[in-house]
């Protein structure tokens, strides 16, 4: 079973808390936006979104920081995923 995101959407899988501690990444969230480190699992095709051309710049496997504000959580085969728009991704962690 697989999620194919539409338009400028991206399927993310949160990096586990253990892994976060190992890599030294600790996130401090404000009340407004809860940032999270997540791995890109699937990337939508981009194209015309709300009348504006969107080019997808993240790719599968990227570790990204997002603001969780407009994401939707889905659980498939026991795994939890988050679907966000690419514009909700703030930065790639290298």
Q: Which residues bind a copy of itself (CB under 8 A)?
A: 1-7, 9, 11, 23-30, 33, 35, 42, 44, 48, 50-55, 57-58, 65, 67, 72-78, 80, 83, 86-87, 89-94
Q: Spell out a b/e string for 55-80, using b for 16 or more CB atoms within 10 Å of the CB, else e.
A: ebeeeeebbbebbbeebeeeeeeeee
Instruction: Report how far Cα 43 is from the mean position of its chain's Cα atoms.
Output: 9
**Side-chain-facing half-sphere of 69: CA atoms under 13 Å:** 11
Q: Which is nearer to a copy of itself, 17 or 57 (CB)?
A: 57
Q: Which is nearer to a copy of itself, 60 or 76 (CB)?
A: 76
Q: Which is nearer to a copy of itself, 18 or 50 (CB)?
A: 50
Provide, rounded to whole angstroms, the least separation between the CB of residue 61 and a copy of itself. Answer: 14
């Amino acid at each position: 079973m697989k999620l194919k995101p539409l338009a400028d959407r991206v399927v993310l899988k949160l990096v586990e808390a253990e892994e976060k501690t190992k890599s030294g990444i600790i996130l401090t969230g404000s009340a407004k936006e809860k940032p999270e480190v997540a791995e890109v699992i699937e990337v939508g095709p981009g194209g015309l979104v709300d009348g504006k051309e969107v080019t997808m710049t993240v790719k599968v496997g990227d570790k990204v920081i997002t603001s969780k504000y407009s994401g939707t959580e889905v659980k498939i085969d026991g795994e939890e995923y988050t679907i966000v728009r690419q514009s909700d991704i703030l930065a790639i962690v290298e």
